[in-house]
Structure formats: C-alpha cells, structure tokens
Amino acid sequence: MSVRVRFAPSPTGALHIGGVRTALYNYLFARKHGGQFLLRIEDTDQNRFVPGAEDYIIEALKWVGLIPDEGVGFGGDYGPYRQSDRKAIYLDYALQLVQRGHAYYAFDTPEALEARRESEDNFTYNQFTRTGLSNSLTLSAEAVQEHLDAGLPYVIRLKVAPNQEIRIHDLIRGEVVFQSADVDDKVLLKADGMPTYHLANIIDDHLMKITHVIRGEEWLPSTAHHVLLYQGFGWEDTMPQFAHLPLIMKPVGNGKLSKRDGAKFGMPVFPLNWEGATEDDHFPGFREAGFLPEAVVNFLALLGWHPEDDQEIFTLEQLVEAFSVAHISKSGARFDYEKAKWFNQKYIQAMDAATLATHIRPLAEAKGYTVSVEYLQQVAVLMKERVTFLPDFVEQGYYLFEPVRTYDSETVQKKWSETVAGIFVELQSSLGDIEPFESANLEEKVKQFVQEKGAKPGDVLPLLRIALAGTMKGPAVFDMAVALGSAETVARLKRFVETFNK
C-alpha cells in the first residue's frame, strides 16, 4: 500500500514555523517512501476562520519548496481538499455512527450546558454526566423523533463506552494508553451541520487513504477520540499509524515557542510576514528577514530529528535520503535562533554567485540601485563570507552601490601620519593607472610602493579599505577596488584624502 500523508492546517491565522516543520516531516516521509504528500485545509471552525490564512499556507509551502502532490491549489483525485467544500459528506457519516450505536443526538441548549459549567467545576459531557442530560440516550425514541421533526437544534456526540482501554502505538512515543473514563463525548457534528475537527479529520483521512498521521504532540490526546471513531466506523483495518512530533520550545526557559516569542527574542517565528487585521496581529517572517528557504528547511529538519551521524548540512534530497521517523525525538526541541542564523550563513557562503545575484537583485532594486547582473555577482562574491541575512548584501555592503556614508575615523586618526598622508596623495593620482587593474597585481604594486616610501603595508592597507568602504569590516580591499573599477576607486581615494588631510 502506497504511503499517503497529509499536512492538515486550519486557516486560523499565520502558519507558525512549527507547522512548517510538520509539513516538512510529512513531505520527507512521503518522498522517502515514494508516497504522496497532501495539503488539506481544515476550516470547519468558521468562528476561527481568518481570511488570507489559506493563501499564506500555500505561499509558505511553496517558498520552502514543499510542493504537495495533491491538495487545495494543487489538484488530485481525492478532492475537494478544503473541508468547507466537503460539508455534504459528513452528515451521512455522523448518522451512520448514530445507527451503529457509537454516537448520539444531544439536544441540550447552550444555556443549559453553560449553567452546568457554572455550577460544577470541570464539567465535561461524558459517560458519567450524559445520563443526566438531554440526549438520545436519555430520551425515549419517540421524544427524539419529535425533537428532530420539530427541527430542534441538536449536535451529534461521540458515545464513549465505559471501562475501556484505548491503545495507540505511536511511531515516536511507543505505546500510549488512554482510559475511556478520561475521554469525553466530543461533539462530532455541530448544530449548524458542520462537522468538528475530530469527525472531519477522521472521515477525510479515511476517504483520502491516509496511511500515516504525522502531527504535533498537542494532538496526542485527541488521538484517543480518533481511535474510537475508527472503531465506530469499523475502519480499524485501515486506521493510519500515528507519529506525534515533539513540541518546539522557547529559546530559553520552559514552555513551547509562542508567536509572542518572536518580538520577545527579536526573531521571526513565522515563515513569511503576516499582516493580520489588527496591529498586534503583525508578525515578521523568515523570508523577509533574509533567510534562504533551503537554510530554513535544514534548520527545521534538525528541530526534533537527528541523523545517524552528526552531519548538519543537508539539501532537501539528502534529507529525504537520511530521514527516518525512528530518529525523531520524544522530548521538546529548543528553537535556537542562533543556529538558524548559522545555517543561513552556511547556505549563503555555499551558494554560487549567479544564484545569489538573483536574490540580491530585488533588494538592490528596492533601494533604488541599478546595477548589472555581473556587478551583482561581484557583490555576491565580495560579501558572502561576511553576511548573515540576504539584505546584509545591500545594507552592510551599501558602499558597493553608493558612496561611503561615514568613515571609521577613530581608526583613521590612529594610523594617520605625515608619511601615510603622503602615500595616499600619491596613490590617489597613480593607483588608477596600474595595469592590469586586477587584484593580485594591485596588491603587489601597492605594497611595493608603500615599502619604497618607508611604510608598512599594515599601516596603509587598512586605511585603503576604510577609504573604499568606510569600515575595516569590508571585503578584501583589492578585490573591492577591482569591483568598484579604477575611476570609482580613485574618486573614493580623493574624497578620503580631502576628508582627513587637513
């Protein structure tokens, strides 16, 4: 039987980075086993529906390169893949469950239930309380029929049988056992005819022939209900296998990573920028912070999974090769933003100039810089060992696109002397004539010249770097001179001399 897995987010807001990890693990698992990866949108909770969230999910998956084989926006033979478009399917199944004695009608009004909640601590609708409530287990068959005929609002609830053990063999956690006494009679079909997450999720996993459910640990308790549903429908034979992924923890301290941690720790916790309806529903994304999607994928892959050896850098293909559910950890994975930055640096450093140039181009254009592709490639080579984020190319390296804004005058003052000043005055008129204007040749000629003047290269070259970039942190000085070209290099020397030779 071919492996089929699904990523099933609810469009209730921006997709958290943990959701992207869930998608990634599903994707890797599907690819590893030659199976299919589906995207199903679980939007049955209309109160929590947020416009734009579905598009965001799709865009985020595309950005990180996890393209579903089937799903909303991707087609497939098991559609529709958006639960609100499947509404008609669920009622029949809910009724089937009632007929089979695994679910029942409940007519309790919201007010009646509210009153119970107020008068009883931790009130839950379950095998103990249902006997005193208004449902098809307590009412006579005639009364139930009358209620239905009169069009009284009702929900359909799962009927949890007493004294049962519900066992799950979780691929990550091993044996997990629930007692049915702890499992409540969840609503399966709401009064508005919409299924709840539990019902829709199980029916869809069944109809879409899902073989493995890989999802966050927060869904583990729900799995008890899900197993009962599979049993209730008589679908045990094709029940998927479960794998519950470890939580993603805050960078420091206890607790799981929350969307508020982004602002607190100065880091994105969403893949893309999200601009919700209100001011406090705006969040920065990894993409806009200047991460390469490949780096984000690599970082996320290791957030809860480890390979057999200690390899850290993996392409998506290598991840597919190395991935196994057996190496997913049970304990929470700490969200280490410094590590994410480290991955980004590594990926930028390893990227070829032409590809980097395509990433730098829009950033340069947004700043109003118009430069050739060849020049962008030179910028890429000059800066790639020095940057952490893509925008650093045009922000830290702004001097490759426009004149130096400020000089590191402290360093200049320290090294400035009459000899040095004299050297700069001469360099200003002779440097432009050095032929060929190539890095190694420039270096040789300048060093020779400096020595002839009785100075040390160490006294002059750092200043030359400051003349061209304003800072000591710039790229290798002669490479930079070549990229800027002889005319611009000379112009910068001139301005430098004018500024300090007073």
Shortest gap between Cβ of 332 and ligand GLU (angstroms)?
17
Q: Which is nearer to ligand GLU, 7 or 283 (CB)?
A: 7
Shortest gap between Cβ of 232 and ligand GLU (angstroms)?
17
Dihedral of CA atoms 443, 444, 445, 449 in degrees, nearest 10, equals 100
Q: Which of 32, 87, 209, 259 is labelled catalytic? A: 259
Q: Which is nearer to ligand GLU, 8 or 379 (CB)?
A: 8
Q: Which is nearer to ligand GLU, 212 or 492 (CB)?
A: 212
* Beta-carbon count within 10 A of 196 CB: 21
Residue of 373, 322, 321 lying closest to 352 (CA atoms): 373
Shortest gap between Cβ of 214 and ligand GLU (angstroms)?
8
- What does each C-alpha distance from 77 to 41, 71, 81, 204 come to in angstroms? 16, 9, 10, 13
Alpha carbon 26 to its chain centroid, in Å, reads 14
Interaction site with ligand GLU (CB under 6 A): 8-10, 42, 197, 201, 215, 219
Q: Which of 151-186 are b and which e, b meaning 16 or more Cβ less than 10 Å from the residue's Cβ? A: eeebbbbbbbeeebebebebbbbeebebebeebbbb
- CA dihedral sign of residues 335, 337, 341, 346: negative
Shortest gap between Cβ of 202 and ligand GLU (angstroms)?
9
Q: CA-based diameter of the chain, in Å?
A: 111
Q: Which is nearer to ligand GLU, 217 or 408 (CB)?
A: 217
Shortest gap between Cβ of 475 and ligand GLU (angstroms)?
45
Structure tokens at 152: 């009284």
**What are the two backbone dihedrals, phi and then psi, of residue 65, each rounded to the nearest 5 degrees?**
80, 25
Q: Cα(412)–Cα(462) distance, rounded to whole angstroms?
A: 9
Q: Which is nearer to ligand GLU, 10 or 134 (CB)?
A: 10
Pairing of strands 241-245, 212-216: parallel
Q: Is 259 a catalytic residue?
A: yes
Shortest gap between Cβ of 21 and ligand GLU (angstroms)?
12
- What does each C-alpha distance from 476 to 105, 385, 411, 429, 442 come to in angstroms? 76, 11, 17, 21, 12
Shortest gap between Cβ of 8 and ligand GLU (angstroms)?
4
Q: Which is nearer to ligand GLU, 217 or 392 (CB)?
A: 217
Label residue 425 exposed, middle or buried (CB < 10 Å: 0-12, 13-18, 19+). middle
Q: Which is nearer to ligand GLU, 10 or 489 (CB)?
A: 10
Residue of 66, 88, 6 lying closest to 41 (CA atoms): 6
Structure tokens at 169: 């063999």
Residues marked as catalytic:
259
